Amino acid sequence: MSLLVAENLGIAFGGVKAVDGVSFCAEAGQVLSIIGPNGAGKTTLFNLVSGVYKAREGRIVLNGRDVTGLPPHRLAALGLSRSFQNLQVFTRMTARENVMVGRHLRERRSVIADLLRLPSSERQNRATRAAADDLLRFVRLDGAADTPAGALPYGALKRLEIARALASEPKVLLLDEPAAGCNAVETEEIDRLIREVADQGVAVVLVEHDMKLVMKISDRILVLDRGRPLAEGPPQEVRRNPAVIEAYLGPGHAREAAHA
Among 66, 65, 63, CA closest to 172: 63
- Closer of 45 and 244 to Mg ion (Cβ): 45
Considering CB distances under 5 to 8 angstroms, the limit depending on partner class, which of ligand ATP, Mg ion, none binds residue 48? none
Nearest-approach distance from CB 224 to ligand ATP, in angstroms: 7
Cα separation, 87 vs 133, in Å, equals 20
Cα separation, 50 vs 9, in Å, equals 12
DSSP 104: G
- By the rule CB under 6 A, 206 interacts with ligand ATP: no
Q: Within positions 70 to 99, which residues make up the interface with ligand ATP, using CB under 6 A?
A: 85
Helix (H, G, I), strand (E, B) or coil at 91: coil
Q: Does residue 24 contact residue 228 with C-beta atoms inside 8 Å?
A: no
DSSP letters of 128-143?
A: HHHHHHHHHHHTT-GG
- By the rule CB under 5 A, 43 interacts with Mg ion: yes
Cα separation, 169 vs 55, in Å, equals 24
- By the rule CB under 6 A, 38 interacts with ligand ATP: yes
Nearest-approach distance from CB 235 to ligand ATP, in angstroms: 19
Instruction: Give the residue at shortest CB distance from Mg ion.
Output: 43
- By the rule CB under 5 A, 83 interacts with Mg ion: no
Nearest-approach distance from CB 200 to ligand ATP, in angstroms: 27
Residues contributing to the site for ligand ATP (CB under 6 A) = 13, 18, 36, 38-44, 85
Binding region for Mg ion (CB under 5 A): 42-43, 85
